[in-house]
Amino acid sequence: MYESFLSQYPPDGRPSTPAEPDQRLVLFTGYSELLEIGAGTSFGGGLLYVHAPSEAEEVSQLIVEAFPEFRERFAPVAQDWLGRQYAADLTRSTTGRDCLLLFEVGSGEAFEVDCGLPHLLDTEFVEDPDTFLGADLYAEWVADHAVPTPPRRCVGFKTPLFLGGHGELTNLEESERSVYWSLTGQLRVAMAEDQPPR
């Protein structure tokens, strides 16, 4: 498991030893194996970072602040270099099939990912890295900038996409993850509150 992922995205360091796995995720296929190879470390030169279980509460608070409608529905697993959060979908996975959520605070959107962790990492990340990891934009970024140090830092949009910003290099800047998520999340919530009811 994860051989294809590791071949394309070698670890950037040694995984930490998690004291206690996230109990909400222990039945998710591939979660325990992912912790063994990557808890608290990044892969592919900072393209993806796997959260250690001790980081789950902090990351969850950031997501809930930006996406309050998803409260109690998810458990964070990993983040990419753009600060986007991959999380297990705790509600859909009760159907017997593991499913994931992708939270993109920069676009103000959350997406359902209809697969589990092994398929996401070994297939989607390997076969379509531009869609799932923004690998094409990452290559442009690292050509002229330092690689952000996850998990505390990420590369985010200066002007969020939901406020008219563009998904291009000139609209990116490195920042503290907590600052980026908090400020952009507050803007997203304020925009949603200003929308007239349908």
- Measure the CA–CA gap between 103 and 88, rounded to whole angstroms: 11
- Measure the CA–CA gap between 175 and 151, rounded to whole angstroms: 11
Which one has a higher pLDDT value, 21 or 44?
Answer: 44
Q: Does the pLDDT value for residue 17 go beyond 90? A: no
Within a domain: 39:
yes
Which residues neighbour 143 within 8 Å (Cβ) at sequence distance 6 or greater? Answer: none
The stretch 135-143 carries a mean pLDDT of 94
Domain that holds residue 133: 3-193
Output the average pLDDT for the chain.
Answer: 90
Q: What is the pLDDT of residue 146?
A: 84
Within a domain: 57:
yes
The stretch 60-74 carries a mean pLDDT of 95
Q: Does the pLDDT value for residue 198 go beyond 50? A: no
**Which pLDDT tens digit goes with each residue over 100-112?**
999 999 999 999 9
Is the separation of the CB atoms in 82 and 134 below 8 Å?
yes
Within a domain: 153:
yes
Q: Does the pLDDT value for residue 96 go beyond 70? A: no
Q: What is the pLDDT of residue 113?
A: 93
- Measure the CA–CA gap between 149 and 10, rounded to whole angstroms: 16
Q: What is the pLDDT of residue 95?
A: 52
Is the separation of the CB atoms in 55 and 176 below 8 Å?
no
**For the chain, how far is it from start to end, CA to CA, in angstroms?**
45
Is the separation of the CB atoms in 1 and 30 below 8 Å?
yes
**Which pLDDT tens digit goes with each residue over 162-196?**
999 999 999 999 999 999 999 999 999 998 876 65
Q: Does the pLDDT value for residue 27 go beyond 90? A: no
Within a domain: 63:
yes
Q: What is the pLDDT of residue 192?
A: 81
Region for residue 73 given its phi and psi (left: phi exceeds 0; alpha: psi -120 to 50; beta: otherwise): alpha
Is the separation of the CB atoms in 122 and 104 below 8 Å?
no
Number of structural domains the chain divides into: 1
Split at pLDDT 50, 70, 90, the class of 97 is confident
pTM of the model as a whole: 0.92
Is the separation of the CB atoms in 116 and 50 below 8 Å?
no
């952009």: which residue's tokens? 184
DSSP 122: I
- Beta bridge partners of residue 78, listed in sequence order: 50, 86
Q: Does the pLDDT value for residue 31 go beyond 60? A: yes
Q: What is the pLDDT of residue 9?
A: 96
Q: Does the pLDDT value for residue 62 go beyond 70? A: yes
At 78 the three-state DSSP class reads strand
- Measure the CA–CA gap between 9 and 28, rounded to whole angstroms: 22
Within a domain: 198:
no
Q: Residue 16 to residues 11, 70, 81, 121: CA-CA distances in angstroms?
A: 12, 29, 19, 20
The stretch 53-71 carries a mean pLDDT of 94
Is the separation of the CB atoms in 37 and 43 below 8 Å?
no
